[in-house]
Copies of this chain bind each other. A is one copy, B any other.
């Protein structure tokens, strides 16, 4: 039986995420994270072999969150359109609560700092399955249209991309309608 870790995986990832949101992704350093979890920097190397792996913990955690919301939706609803609506809104919600870490999904400083492909693939597969039911010909392109829009919107919203005022919630719902109509929903 291995010795218990003094710092749980959950504590660690929570610290990484909170530092990233508070002071930016660049502020996630081995020593800052170590200090946050009450440990010395060298000890962290038993958990993540470098700074980028620390960031991946956070990125994976956000991917996991999104995956759970999608799974929960899948259980509750059968209508594919409803599933896609829920997924887009879930992404926007997560991005609003964790803007910095959410950008890591497709805007990481290095590939190793982004989410694990094995973790993202099943999410994409679920979306693709739902899209396929709506748009049997070239569902991959249709799914990419939806994800690109949802990610772009969420990122821009959180990074000052929408400075002209107006009703941003309305813009989101309008965009959702446009994209879903276009993919046959």
List chain A positions with a Cβ less than 8 A from chain B: 24-26, 103, 106-111, 114, 117, 120-121, 124, 128, 138, 140-142, 144-145, 147-153, 155-156, 159-164, 166-168, 170-171, 174-175, 177-179, 181-183
Contact = CB atoms under 8 A, between A and B. Distances in A.
Nearest to A174: B141
How many copies of this chain? 2
A159 B106 contact: yes
Contacts of A103: 107
A95 to B, nearest CB: 12
B141 A171 contact: yes
A155 B151 contact: yes
A131 to B, nearest CB: 12
Contacts of A141: 166-167, 170-171, 174-175
Contacts of A178: 142, 145, 178-179, 182-183
Nearest to A183: B178
Given A144-B162, A151-B152, A151-B155, 15 more contacts: A26-B109, A107-B159, A108-B159, A138-B174, A141-B171, A144-B156, A145-B174, A148-B153, A148-B175, A152-B153, A178-B178, A178-B179, A178-B183, A179-B179, A179-B182
Given A150-B152, A177-B182, A171 B159 contact: no
B164 A140 contact: yes
Nearest to A151: B152
B151 A156 contact: yes
A183 B178 CA distance: 7
Nearest to A115: B160
* 7 nearest A-B pairs in the assembled complex, by CB-CB distance: A152-B152, A178-B182, A148-B152, A148-B153, A145-B175, A141-B171, A141-B174
